[in-house]
Amino acid sequence: MEEEKVMLRFESIESPWLKESIRSLRNKLLIDNQHHKVFCFSSLYPEEGVSTIVRLLAFYLSDVEKNVIIVSADLKNVYSEISTATYTLKDYLSNRCSRENIVISVNEHFKIIAGSNSNEDYSDLLHLDTFADLIKQLKNEYDLVLIDAPSFSVASEAIILSRLADSLILVVKENNVKIDDFSEFSRKLQKQNITIKGVVLNRICETENLEIKAI
């Protein structure tokens, strides 16, 4: 993939307030989680804005020269910015290519591993030891690994992805999740020995693309 094509996503951010919100989130991760390197970002429901936040966060982490890589773990849908000829995580886990073939460079410090170049369901590949080993390797090689996970309501693999991470961070769209649903979901995760490290309250509308409320 051409580097310029990936960069378009980030150069279009013009709001100083939005930039400061992402920087605040970045700083909280770096200061409050100094011993954590692998973060799983997910949500209760689809389309909460997880991928948007992960990409913005990774870009601003690279801005302070942190070597960061995003692992897109949605193996049920085509990754939006790649061609079908691009090798993906799905191909690597299927032994169709080497690890070097799946790393896309956004800039010197920011890399992405796209999930899939197919709309078929390959999510069972995430259960393989090969995937767990990949996360361990990336943890040793990068300052931070951000797992862009599908929502818990549509993918049981979100549990696996959360366990492979040092921290789970949930993205919640404002006015979209009932407090009772969130509390019940938290209790279910606790029974799985998974703790929610933080919550990003995200609001997407015509005038403000993204609002980081808290983590």
Q: In what order do the strands lie in the sheet with 68-72?
A: 103-107, 110-113, 68-72, 144-148, 38-42, 167-173, 196-202
pTM: predicted TM-score of the whole model, two decimal places = 0.86
What are 103's strand-pairing partners? 113
DSSP state of 200: E
Sorted by where each begins, the domain ranges of the chain are 3-202
Provide the pLDDT for residue 12: 52
- CATH number for the domain whose boundaries are 3-202: 3.40.50.300
Distance CA 78, CA 204 (A): 23
Q: Mean pLDDT, consecutive 10-residue segments, the chain of 215 residues?
A: 44 68 88 86 88 91 95 91 83 96 93 93 95 97 96 84 93 77 83 85 54 42
Amino acid 24 reads S
Instruction: Please write the tens of the pLDDT for every residue from 104-124.
Output: 998 999 999 999 999 999 999
The SS3 of residue 41 is: strand
